[in-house]
Structures are given as structure tokens and as C-alpha cells.
Amino acid sequence: RQTLVRNEEVKHVVCCCRKKCLLFNDMVLIIATLHTGFSRRAKSFEMILVGRFLEGICAGRTPHYSILK
């Protein structure tokens, strides 16, 4: 039976998209860590809140990508 899209193409797209999503998630996590780390030097409590908020978003998104194996 012939399909519109081959299995190899689907696997490539899923792998490519998963890699980009994980890299984006890592970049957001690095930004959150920098906010939390520099909050003491800037003496800004709000930077801790922003950093924790971004870390929470990253923690919520990570488990969903392990399903795509």
C-alpha cells in the first residue's frame, strides 16, 4: 500500500522538530539561570521571580518530548 509520506520522512521531521524544541527549551533555561544568578548583583527580587517563572515553564515542557521517541 502506498502512502503520501514515507516513514523515513516522518522520522526525520519528528527528530528535527524535537531537537529544535529541546534546544529552545535549553536556551530559555539558560536565560532563567542568568536571571536568578544576577539578581543578587542587581539587588532585584523581581529577577528571581522572572527566573523561577521561566524555570517552571521549562520544567513543565520537558517531559512531553520524551514521548516522541
pLDDT in tens, the chain (69 residues): 555 555 565 565 556 666 777 788 888 889 999 998 998 888 888 999 999 998 888 887 665 555 555
This prediction's pTM: 0.64
C-alpha span between 35 and 45 (Å, rounded):
10
